[in-house]
Structure 1
Amino acid sequence: MANTYSQVHLHFIFAPKFRQALICNSWETSLYKYITGIVEARQHKMIAINGMSDHVHMLIGFRTTQSIADLMQDVKADSSQWINGNRFCGSRFEWQAGCGVFSYSKSQVPNLVNYIQTQKEHHRKLTFRQEYLSFLKKFEIEYDERYIFKSPE
């Protein structure tokens, strides 16, 4: 849209189905590059991406030409197809339904980038579930426990 200007910073958190620890160190950097390509092909700006074997964080400069749901559908569908096509997992890879998405002001971006970049250190003290629930509480988001990311079985 001509003459539409925006500054929207969105932090996404999403996980493999059943939060299984399927993202391996040997290919996680390639996965993050692939997801960055998906995001940027849709005209958004990847600011930071990182995670753990059981979840991914990404911070993007979001353009208002696409819905959040459509972007996540593209990211999950395209990246799971890439993971499966490269046979990185012993079984079929799927992302868990849903995600967390949180908005930040420009002044908060540097701290959030640092937070995302230091995921491995951060998770020495905190589980993914504890982290995710802390975001929901921080942003005062009401939630139903039945729909929180399923724990590994």
Structure 2
Amino acid sequence: MPMEEHHHDLTDDVGERRGFLGAMATAMMAGGLIGGYGTFATYAGRFLYPSGGDKTSWQFLATVDQLKIGSSIPFETPVGSKVVVARQSEGSTAEDFIALSSVCPHLGCAVHWESQNNRFFCPCHNGAFDASGKATEGPPAAANQSLKRFPLMVENGLLFIKVPTESVRGTREA
């Protein structure tokens, strides 16, 4: 009889090991599924709800002394937006300068400064904007569309512009 009891104990041990290994395999499979679906959910969340972090930076433009009253310089942002920066008065603060998009909001044509008329002009449909970028004539005025304005900063005689560094879709604009 002692032999049968011993045989019975071995069968119990094998059954316990099999139960333990089955439980471990189930736990590992569940962990893998949770990890996989968790990763999928994370990427789906990033795609559907992108972070609204600040995608702008201050970029150096010129020294304050490089721009004389009435003069302007072109600038292209890291995402390809075209900007014109002009000096409007003799001071050396950000308020003495203006940075405006050089793209008409009506159809995307290039605007240029007409110093003789003290305005920005869009040749596509005779759109005109005053020195502050507000539409005054043509389709942009009818649609109340002004040129986009960019913030400027002067620090230690250096002129900086705050521009987007990433477009809405996260890719460079053409």
Per the normalisation by structure 1, the TM-score is 0.26
Q: As a proportion of its length, which structure holds more strand?
A: 2
Query: Normalising by structure 2, what TM-score?
Result: 0.24
Higher helix share: 1
